Chain A
Amino acid sequence: MNNRLRILRAERGWSQADLADRLDVSRQSVNAIETGKYDPSLPLAFRIARLFGLTIEEVFTDEDASAAKAAE
Protein backbone atom coordinates (compact mmCIF):
# COMPACT_ATOMS: atom_id res chain seq x y z
CA MET A 1 0.00 0.00 0.00
CA ASN A 2 1.32 3.44 -0.95
CA ASN A 3 0.66 6.62 0.98
CA ARG A 4 1.19 10.37 0.86
CA LEU A 5 2.09 10.70 4.51
CA ARG A 6 5.55 12.16 3.97
CA ILE A 7 4.21 14.80 1.56
CA LEU A 8 1.30 15.72 3.81
CA ARG A 9 3.61 15.96 6.79
CA ALA A 10 6.13 18.09 4.89
CA GLU A 11 3.36 20.44 3.72
CA ARG A 12 2.61 21.19 7.35
CA GLY A 13 6.25 21.43 8.36
CA TRP A 14 5.90 18.60 10.86
CA SER A 15 8.71 16.29 11.81
CA GLN A 16 8.07 12.57 12.22
CA ALA A 17 8.12 13.11 15.98
CA ASP A 18 5.47 15.87 15.68
CA LEU A 19 3.22 13.57 13.69
CA ALA A 20 3.90 10.72 16.10
CA ASP A 21 2.79 12.89 19.03
CA ARG A 22 -0.36 13.93 17.20
CA LEU A 23 -1.23 10.32 16.39
CA ASP A 24 -0.14 8.97 19.77
CA VAL A 25 2.29 6.52 18.20
CA SER A 26 6.09 6.26 18.22
CA ARG A 27 8.33 8.07 15.73
CA GLN A 28 9.57 4.69 14.53
CA SER A 29 5.98 3.69 13.78
CA VAL A 30 5.43 6.84 11.72
CA ASN A 31 8.58 6.04 9.77
CA ALA A 32 7.47 2.44 9.16
CA ILE A 33 4.09 3.62 7.87
CA GLU A 34 5.57 6.44 5.76
CA THR A 35 8.00 4.12 4.03
CA GLY A 36 5.22 1.64 3.32
CA LYS A 37 6.84 -1.05 5.43
CA TYR A 38 3.87 -1.28 7.75
CA ASP A 39 0.22 -0.99 6.77
CA PRO A 40 -1.75 0.65 9.57
CA SER A 41 -4.94 -0.80 10.96
CA LEU A 42 -8.23 0.73 9.84
CA PRO A 43 -8.67 2.74 13.09
CA LEU A 44 -5.16 4.21 12.77
CA ALA A 45 -5.68 4.91 9.06
CA PHE A 46 -8.88 6.78 9.93
CA ARG A 47 -7.01 8.72 12.62
CA ILE A 48 -4.31 9.70 10.13
CA ALA A 49 -6.84 10.76 7.51
CA ARG A 50 -8.85 12.73 10.07
CA LEU A 51 -5.72 14.52 11.27
CA PHE A 52 -5.05 15.79 7.76
CA GLY A 53 -8.72 16.50 7.07
CA LEU A 54 -8.78 13.99 4.22
CA THR A 55 -10.40 10.67 3.41
CA ILE A 56 -8.46 7.42 3.74
CA GLU A 57 -8.36 7.07 -0.06
CA GLU A 58 -6.71 10.48 -0.31
CA VAL A 59 -3.91 9.39 2.00
CA PHE A 60 -3.52 5.71 1.15
CA THR A 61 -3.67 4.04 -2.25
CA ASP A 62 -4.04 0.35 -2.91
CA GLU A 63 -1.29 -0.77 -5.31
CA ASP A 64 -3.33 -3.69 -6.65
CA ALA A 65 -6.34 -1.50 -7.31
CA SER A 66 -4.18 1.08 -9.08
CA ALA A 67 -2.58 -1.61 -11.22
CA ALA A 68 -5.96 -3.11 -12.11
CA LYS A 69 -7.31 0.31 -13.05
CA ALA A 70 -4.29 1.02 -15.23
CA ALA A 71 -4.71 -2.33 -17.00
CA GLU A 72 -8.32 -1.55 -17.96
Chain B
Amino acid sequence: MTAKRTKAVTPLWRWQVLAAIFVLAITLTGAAPRAHPLLVVLVGGALIVGLFLLGVRAWRGLDEVAREAQKTACMWGARIGAGVNFILVLMLVVSGGAWLPAHLSPQMYVVLGIGASALPMIVAYQIYWSVWWLKRR
Protein backbone atom coordinates (compact mmCIF):
# COMPACT_ATOMS: atom_id res chain seq x y z
CA MET B 1 0.00 0.00 0.00
CA THR B 2 1.33 3.41 -0.86
CA ALA B 3 2.13 5.88 1.89
CA LYS B 4 0.81 8.85 -0.04
CA ARG B 5 -2.30 10.60 1.15
CA THR B 6 -5.61 9.41 -0.29
CA LYS B 7 -7.34 12.01 -2.42
CA ALA B 8 -10.15 13.85 -0.72
CA VAL B 9 -13.47 15.18 -1.92
CA THR B 10 -13.67 17.80 0.81
CA PRO B 11 -15.36 20.91 -0.51
CA LEU B 12 -13.43 24.11 -0.65
CA TRP B 13 -15.64 25.61 2.04
CA ARG B 14 -12.64 26.23 4.29
CA TRP B 15 -11.04 28.33 1.60
CA GLN B 16 -14.32 30.12 0.99
CA VAL B 17 -14.59 31.05 4.66
CA LEU B 18 -11.02 32.28 4.49
CA ALA B 19 -11.84 34.18 1.33
CA ALA B 20 -14.85 35.77 2.97
CA ILE B 21 -12.73 36.82 5.96
CA PHE B 22 -10.05 38.21 3.66
CA VAL B 23 -12.52 40.08 1.50
CA LEU B 24 -14.15 41.51 4.59
CA ALA B 25 -10.77 42.44 6.06
CA ILE B 26 -9.73 44.13 2.84
CA THR B 27 -13.03 45.97 2.53
CA LEU B 28 -13.00 47.08 6.16
CA THR B 29 -9.39 48.20 5.86
CA GLY B 30 -10.35 50.14 2.78
CA ALA B 31 -13.30 51.62 4.63
CA ALA B 32 -11.13 52.68 7.56
CA PRO B 33 -10.65 56.43 7.22
CA ARG B 34 -7.00 56.41 8.34
CA ALA B 35 -5.74 53.52 6.26
CA HIS B 36 -3.10 54.51 3.76
CA PRO B 37 -4.20 53.44 0.26
CA LEU B 38 -0.79 51.94 -0.48
CA LEU B 39 -0.97 49.83 2.69
CA VAL B 40 -4.44 48.62 1.72
CA VAL B 41 -3.22 47.65 -1.74
CA LEU B 42 -0.17 45.85 -0.34
CA VAL B 43 -2.06 43.95 2.36
CA GLY B 44 -4.93 43.18 0.04
CA GLY B 45 -2.59 42.04 -2.73
CA ALA B 46 -0.67 39.76 -0.35
CA LEU B 47 -3.90 38.24 0.92
CA ILE B 48 -5.21 37.64 -2.59
CA VAL B 49 -1.94 36.00 -3.71
CA GLY B 50 -1.94 33.86 -0.53
CA LEU B 51 -5.52 32.88 -1.13
CA PHE B 52 -4.79 31.99 -4.73
CA LEU B 53 -1.88 29.77 -3.68
CA LEU B 54 -4.08 28.04 -1.10
CA GLY B 55 -6.66 27.49 -3.81
CA VAL B 56 -4.08 25.96 -6.15
CA ARG B 57 -2.95 23.62 -3.36
CA ALA B 58 -6.53 22.59 -2.61
CA TRP B 59 -7.28 22.05 -6.32
CA ARG B 60 -4.23 19.82 -6.79
CA GLY B 61 -5.41 17.70 -3.88
CA LEU B 62 -8.61 16.82 -5.73
CA ASP B 63 -9.04 13.96 -8.17
CA GLU B 64 -10.90 14.34 -11.48
CA VAL B 65 -14.30 13.37 -10.04
CA ALA B 66 -14.00 15.89 -7.22
CA ARG B 67 -12.85 18.52 -9.71
CA GLU B 68 -15.88 17.81 -11.87
CA ALA B 69 -18.08 18.32 -8.80
CA GLN B 70 -16.33 21.61 -8.08
CA LYS B 71 -16.63 22.85 -11.66
CA THR B 72 -20.31 21.94 -11.92
CA ALA B 73 -21.09 23.46 -8.52
CA CYS B 74 -19.17 26.64 -9.40
CA MET B 75 -20.98 26.94 -12.70
CA TRP B 76 -24.54 26.32 -11.51
CA GLY B 77 -24.13 27.47 -7.92
CA ALA B 78 -22.79 30.81 -9.10
CA ARG B 79 -25.60 31.18 -11.64
CA ILE B 80 -28.32 30.33 -9.13
CA GLY B 81 -26.68 32.63 -6.56
CA ALA B 82 -26.46 35.41 -9.14
CA GLY B 83 -30.16 34.89 -9.90
CA VAL B 84 -31.00 35.27 -6.21
CA ASN B 85 -28.86 38.41 -6.13
CA PHE B 86 -30.75 39.79 -9.10
CA ILE B 87 -34.06 39.25 -7.30
CA LEU B 88 -32.65 40.89 -4.16
CA VAL B 89 -31.55 43.92 -6.17
CA LEU B 90 -34.98 44.17 -7.79
CA MET B 91 -36.62 43.95 -4.35
CA LEU B 92 -34.26 46.65 -3.11
CA VAL B 93 -35.18 48.94 -5.98
CA VAL B 94 -38.91 48.30 -5.69
CA SER B 95 -38.97 48.77 -1.91
CA GLY B 96 -36.80 51.86 -2.07
CA GLY B 97 -34.38 50.27 0.37
CA ALA B 98 -36.88 50.39 3.22
CA TRP B 99 -35.59 47.14 4.74
CA LEU B 100 -31.94 48.20 4.71
CA PRO B 101 -30.27 48.98 8.05
CA ALA B 102 -30.37 52.70 8.70
CA HIS B 103 -27.56 55.03 9.78
CA LEU B 104 -24.70 53.20 8.09
CA SER B 105 -21.79 54.96 6.45
CA PRO B 106 -21.56 54.70 2.65
CA GLN B 107 -18.49 52.48 3.11
CA MET B 108 -20.42 50.07 5.31
CA TYR B 109 -23.20 49.88 2.73
CA VAL B 110 -20.55 48.81 0.23
CA VAL B 111 -19.25 46.18 2.69
CA LEU B 112 -22.80 44.99 3.30
CA GLY B 113 -23.47 44.82 -0.43
CA ILE B 114 -20.33 42.78 -1.13
CA GLY B 115 -21.14 40.34 1.68
CA ALA B 116 -24.80 40.09 0.74
CA SER B 117 -24.00 39.38 -2.91
CA ALA B 118 -21.38 36.74 -2.10
CA LEU B 119 -23.55 34.83 0.37
CA PRO B 120 -26.24 33.47 -2.03
CA MET B 121 -23.53 32.32 -4.45
CA ILE B 122 -21.59 30.51 -1.73
CA VAL B 123 -24.72 28.88 -0.31
CA ALA B 124 -25.97 27.82 -3.76
CA TYR B 125 -22.53 26.45 -4.58
CA GLN B 126 -22.46 24.37 -1.38
CA ILE B 127 -25.97 23.01 -1.95
CA TYR B 128 -25.23 22.14 -5.57
CA TRP B 129 -21.95 20.46 -4.59
CA SER B 130 -23.70 18.37 -1.91
CA VAL B 131 -26.49 17.33 -4.27
CA TRP B 132 -23.94 16.40 -6.95
CA TRP B 133 -22.20 14.01 -4.59
CA LEU B 134 -25.40 12.67 -3.04
CA LYS B 135 -26.60 11.68 -6.50
CA ARG B 136 -23.38 9.73 -7.05
CA ARG B 137 -23.28 7.81 -3.78
Residues of chain A whose beta carbon lies under 8 Å from any beta carbon of chain B: 17-18, 20-22, 24-29, 31-33, 35, 37-38, 40-41, 44
A9 to chain B, nearest CB (A): 15
With A17-B6, A21-B1 already in contact, the answer to whether A26 and B66 are too (CB < 8 A) is yes
Closest chain A CB from B73 CB (angstroms): 14
- Closest A residue to B62 by beta carbon equals A26
Name B's interface SS: loop
Nearest CB of B to A1, in Å: 14
The one of B6, B68, B137 that contacts A20, using a Cβ cutoff of 8 Å: B6
- How many residue pairs at the A-B interface have CB separations less than 8 Å? 52
A40→B9 contact, CB < 8 A? no
Is A32's CB under 8 angstroms from B7's CB? no
A contacts with B: majority SS: helix
* Most B CB within 10 A of own CB, among A20, A21, A22, A26: A26
Residues of A within 8 A of B135 (CB): 37
Taken together as a complex, chains A and B put the C-alpha atoms of A32 and B7 apart, in Å, by 14
Q: Which residues of chain B are near A41, meaning CB under 8 Å?
A: 64
Docked complex Cα distance between A28 and B68 (Å): 13
Pick from A18, A21, A22, A32: contact of B136, CB below 8 A. Answer: A32
With CB as the reference atom, state the residue of chain B lying closest to A33. Answer: B65
Contacts of B65 in A (CB 8 A): 25-26, 28-29, 32-33, 38, 40
Asked whether, in the complex, the Cβ of B63 is within 8 Å of the Cβ of A18, the reply is: no
